[in-house]
């Protein structure tokens, strides 16, 4: 357990602090600079969430006319809302909307769950309203995707808004609960507050989420579902309550030390900036960004280097990209393979060079000896060529350490991209008929399936007629039935094109960029359309190509590998301003609004943006096929010193 500080002077905190970046919690207390205003895109997303919550509350008040609507009490009149909530609890009201729980002074907590649902024989459970999906198709072993043990996945436990209590819930055999860490940590916060107030029911810690499906999806907060690091260096499964307790207590410690720093600047704040996905939307990015970009740049600016990897590097004295680039790739490969090189290096310092390494680690460890021999190490003299600093990572081995070294070298090199090791010719699957597929979705579902068709000259008339960009979309209010109809129409068109290509003896390939997006949505919607087997077969076939995987396996840039970044290597640019998923979400709100002129402009933007995504994939594929092989090998990216620092993954140019 980490060292605990005196947190008695820390103001009670809401649940959000447990799920946000710990550095942000620190700067919220210290305020090192003038905070940035929230981006307009983020504000629009928040507004959409508030509108959705208001719609759900309207439905609940119609279904439960006796439920007190405490959200109508002014948010600033907290004491009044708290007293009204307690009065409703004492009266045994079965549903309380927008209440405020009694402050937990000992635990330093405040909280306002969207709903408090009465339990039998007594107590209350917390439910939050979230503008996203709370359910997904349940993997049942049929064809919804590969799973190690599909039959073990529990069915979602759901209750209707008309009877939202856990006692009225029933298992949905077709659905599984979507476990969003942020949502569940928020529920754990309310659970602790209910327990502190003596209001938690007996019989387990369960809480619920109302998502866009408009049912209460229940979660067991004591279920061990989160993979977390342990002090032994291994991982273990922990429950939401365990994760929440650690994260919330850690933030309290951070704030306590921040308050001490304000009183005495000699007291160092507890945490330092680390790049994360929250950074672009954080009010303190103008402070953290230049700090991270100083010198050769913090290691967390590299793609796929998260907090755990950053901590391992810090423990080994590697805090910037230059230090990481300076590690030895050959030694890192052995470390990543799980070999403990420390006994060999220790022996190399004390024993004659001609001593076989087998005498040190034992003849029986044939796999390790073979790995060492493949690296040219059979004697202790050979072992002396290993890099001690890199070998020190044996105490906390990372399987991607060699890749991290190459990404650091590419980030500091003077070329925009490099060929990965052992790649002499960049290859990308090509076909006679090619389809680039990109979908657009909101919390309510997928409203647009876009496809760009290209075909070899002389293809049959039906295939030539399909060439170009095609969009299957709707601007009507999204429903499950409408979403399924759109996908069904798109799937029938795609299937017909595949059959036409097969009948003509032509090869067919469909491309996406990051199969976790389009593939996941296809699997989900296949269940609603009765197409599970067809869709699963297609996604598992060579005809379905993930261009992100093709790129990542052969090209190293040391920076972000989103489509906007990689398409730039091919010289591609979008025809719309501010292309990006967050902007698309905001434009969709306008596209479905009542202002006809604004709606028409937003629809045009969304269609042009989606067509741009499909065209970008084609441009990237052509670049990979024709020019990427001319990129220098990543082995040439590191001259042993920093000659020039490229723009970082954070978008800030280092000095």
Given a cut of 90, is residue 43 above it in pLDDT?
Answer: no
For residues 474 and 378, membership in a common domain is answered with: no
Residue 360 located in a structural domain: yes
pLDDT of residue 318: 96
Given a cut of 80, is residue 642 above it in pLDDT?
Answer: no
pLDDT of residue 498: 96
Domain, as residue range, for 385: 294-416
Given a cut of 90, is residue 100 above it in pLDDT?
Answer: yes
pLDDT over 90 percentage in the chain: 80
CB-based contacts of 410, cutoff 8 Å, min separation 6: 417, 418, 556, 557, 558, 634, 637
Q: Of 238-252, 352-366, 607-621, which range is least confident?
A: 352-366
**At 388, is the pLDDT very low, low, confident or very high (cuts 50, 70, 90)?**
very high
Arithmetic mean of pLDDT, 569-579: 94
Average pLDDT, the chain: 91
Condensed to tens digits (0 to 9), the pLDDT of residues 260-274 reads 999 999 999 999 999
Count of the separate structural domains present in the chain: 2
Arithmetic mean of pLDDT, 485-492: 97
Given a cut of 50, is residue 649 above it in pLDDT?
Answer: no
Given a cut of 60, is residue 61 above it in pLDDT?
Answer: yes
pLDDT of residue 643: 33
Residue 179 located in a structural domain: no
Assess contact for 420 and 554: CB atoms under 8 A. Answer: yes
Domain boundary among 359, 388, 416: 416
For residues 458 and 549, membership in a common domain is answered with: yes
* Half-sphere exposure at residue 406, Cβ-oriented, CA atoms within 13 angstroms: 25
Cα–Cα nearest to 20, from 276, 292, 304: 276
Condensed to tens digits (0 to 9), the pLDDT of residues 62-77 reads 999 999 888 666 666 8
Given a cut of 50, is residue 650 above it in pLDDT?
Answer: no
Given a cut of 50, is residue 462 above it in pLDDT?
Answer: yes
Arithmetic mean of pLDDT, 116-132: 95
* CATH number of the domain to which 607 belongs: 3.30.420
For residues 441 and 398, membership in a common domain is answered with: no
Condensed to tens digits (0 to 9), the pLDDT of residues 183-228 reads 999 999 999 999 999 999 998 999 999 999 999 999 999 999 999 8
Cα–Cα nearest to 453, from 441, 464, 439: 464
pLDDT over 70 percentage in the chain: 93
Beta bridge partners of 170: 158
Given a cut of 50, is residue 611 above it in pLDDT?
Answer: yes
Element (H, E) at 462: helix 461-466
pLDDT of residue 146: 38
Q: Of 87-91, 310-314, 594-598, which range is least confident?
A: 594-598
Cα–Cα nearest to 411, from 111, 649, 88: 649
For residues 403 and 546, membership in a common domain is answered with: no
For residues 323 and 402, membership in a common domain is answered with: yes
Given a cut of 60, is residue 180 above it in pLDDT?
Answer: yes
Condensed to tens digits (0 to 9), the pLDDT of residues 141-169 reads 433 343 334 446 799 999 999 999 999 99
For residues 411 and 457, membership in a common domain is answered with: no
Cα–Cα nearest to 376, from 406, 345, 420, 331: 331
Condensed to tens digits (0 to 9), the pLDDT of residues 223-238 reads 999 998 776 667 889 9
For residues 537 and 484, membership in a common domain is answered with: yes
Given a cut of 50, is residue 647 above it in pLDDT?
Answer: no
User: What is the spatial distance between Cα 113 and Cα 100, in angstroms, rounded to a whole number?
Assistant: 7
User: What is the spatial distance between Cα 655 and Cα 645, in angstroms, rounded to a whole number?
Assistant: 7
For residues 539 and 632, membership in a common domain is answered with: yes
Residue 122 located in a structural domain: no
Residue 302 located in a structural domain: yes
Question: What are the φ and ψ backbone dihedral angles of 409, each rounded to 5 degrees?
Answer: -65, -40
CB-based contacts of 600, cutoff 8 Å, min separation 6: none
Condensed to tens digits (0 to 9), the pLDDT of residues 272-323 reads 999 998 998 999 999 999 999 999 999 999 999 998 999 999 999 999 999 9
For residues 481 and 605, membership in a common domain is answered with: yes
Token pair 């067809």 is found at 534
Arithmetic mean of pLDDT, 373-402: 95
pLDDT of residue 589: 85
Given a cut of 70, is residue 549 above it in pLDDT?
Answer: yes
Arithmetic mean of pLDDT, 346-372: 92
pLDDT of residue 233: 62
For residues 571 and 608, membership in a common domain is answered with: yes
For residues 405 and 449, membership in a common domain is answered with: no
Domain boundary among 381, 416, 451: 416
Residue 526 located in a structural domain: yes
Domain boundary among 368, 391, 416: 416
Q: Of 2-16, 221-235, 577-591, which range is least confident?
A: 221-235
Residue 373 located in a structural domain: yes
For residues 308 and 438, membership in a common domain is answered with: no
pLDDT of residue 578: 87
Residue 238 located in a structural domain: no
Residue 108 located in a structural domain: no
Given a cut of 80, is residue 639 above it in pLDDT?
Answer: no
């Amino acid at each position: 357990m980490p060292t605990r500080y005196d947190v008695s002077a820390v103001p009670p905190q809401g649940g959000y602090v447990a799920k946000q970046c710990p550095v942000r919690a620190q700067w919220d207390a210290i305020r090192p600079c003038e905070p940035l205003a929230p981006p307009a895109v983020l504000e629009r997303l928040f507004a959409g969430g508030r509108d959705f919550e208001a719609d759900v509350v309207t439905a609940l008040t119609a279904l439960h006319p006796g439920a007190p609507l405490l959200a109508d009490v002014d948010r600033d009149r907290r004491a009044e809302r708290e007293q009204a909530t307690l009065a409703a609890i004492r009266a045994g009201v079965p549903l309380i909307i927008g209440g405020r729980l009694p402050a937990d002074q000992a635990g330093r907590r405040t909280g306002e769950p969207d709903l408090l649902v009465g339990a039998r024989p007594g107590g209350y459970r917390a439910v939050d309203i979230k503008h996203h999906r709370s359910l997904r198709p349940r993997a049942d072993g049929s064809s919804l995707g590969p799973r190690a043990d599909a039959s073990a996945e529990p069915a979602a436990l759901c209750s209707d808004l008309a009877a939202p209590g856990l006692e009225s819930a029933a298992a949905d055999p077709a659905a599984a609960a979507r476990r969003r860490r942020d949502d569940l940590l928020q529920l754990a916060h309310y659970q602790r507050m209910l327990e502190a107030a003596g209001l938690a029911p007996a019989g387990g810690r369960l809480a619920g989420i109302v998502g866009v499906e408009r049912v209460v999806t229940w979660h067991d907060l004591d279920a061990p579902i989160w993979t977390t690091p342990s002090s032994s260096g291994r991982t273990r499964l922990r429950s939401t309550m365990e994760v929440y307790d650690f994260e919330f207590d850690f933030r309290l410690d951070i704030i306590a030390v921040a308050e001490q720093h304000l009183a005495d600047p000699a007291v160092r704040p507890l945490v330092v900036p680390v790049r994360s996905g929250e950074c672009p939307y954080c009010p303190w990015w103008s402070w953290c960004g230049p700090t991270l970009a100083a010198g050769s740049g913090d290691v967390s600016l590299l793609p796929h280097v998260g907090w755990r990897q950053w901590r391992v590097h810090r423990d080994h004295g590697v805090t910037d990209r230059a230090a990481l680039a300076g590690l030895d790739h050959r030694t890192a490969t052995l470390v990543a393979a799980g070999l403990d090189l420390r006994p060999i290096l220790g022996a190399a310092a004390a024993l004659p060079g001609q001593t076989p390494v087998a005498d040190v680690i034992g003849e029986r460890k044939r796999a390790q000896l073979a790995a060492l021999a493949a690296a040219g190490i059979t004697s202790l003299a050979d072992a002396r060529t290993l890099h001690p600093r890199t070998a020190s990572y044996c105490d906390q081995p990372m399987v991607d350490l060699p890749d991290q070294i190459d990404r650091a070298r590419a980030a500091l090199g003077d070329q925009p991209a490099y060929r990965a090791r052992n790649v002499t010719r960049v290859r990308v699957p090509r076909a006679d008929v090619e389809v680039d597929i990109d979908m657009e979705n909101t919390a309510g579902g997928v409203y647009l399936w876009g496809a760009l068709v290209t075909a070899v000259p002389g293809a049959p008339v039906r295939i030539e007629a399909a060439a170009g960009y095609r969009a299957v979309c709707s601007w009507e209010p999204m429903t499950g039935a409408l979403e399924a109809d759109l996908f069904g129409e798109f799937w029938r068109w795609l299937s017909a094109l595949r059959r036409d290509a097969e009948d003509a003896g032509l090869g067919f390939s469909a491309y996406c960029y990051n199969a976790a997006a389009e593939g996941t949505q296809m699997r989900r919607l296949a269940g609603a359309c009765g197409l599970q087997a067809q869709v699963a077969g297609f996604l598992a076939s060579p005809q379905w190509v993930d261009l992100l995987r093709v790129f990542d396996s052969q090209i190293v840039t040391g920076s972000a590998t989103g489509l906007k970044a990689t398409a730039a290597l091919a010289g591609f640019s979008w025809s719309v301003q501010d292309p990006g998923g967050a902007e698309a979400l905001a434009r969709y709100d306008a596209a479905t609004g009542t202002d006809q002129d604004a709606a028409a402009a937003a629809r045009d933007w969304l269609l042009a943006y989606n067509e741009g995504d499909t065209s970008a994939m084609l441009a990237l594929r052509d670049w990979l096929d024709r020019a990427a092989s001319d990129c220098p090998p990543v082995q040439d990216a590191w001259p042993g010193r920093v000659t020039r620092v490229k723009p970082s993954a954070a978008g800030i140019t280092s000095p």
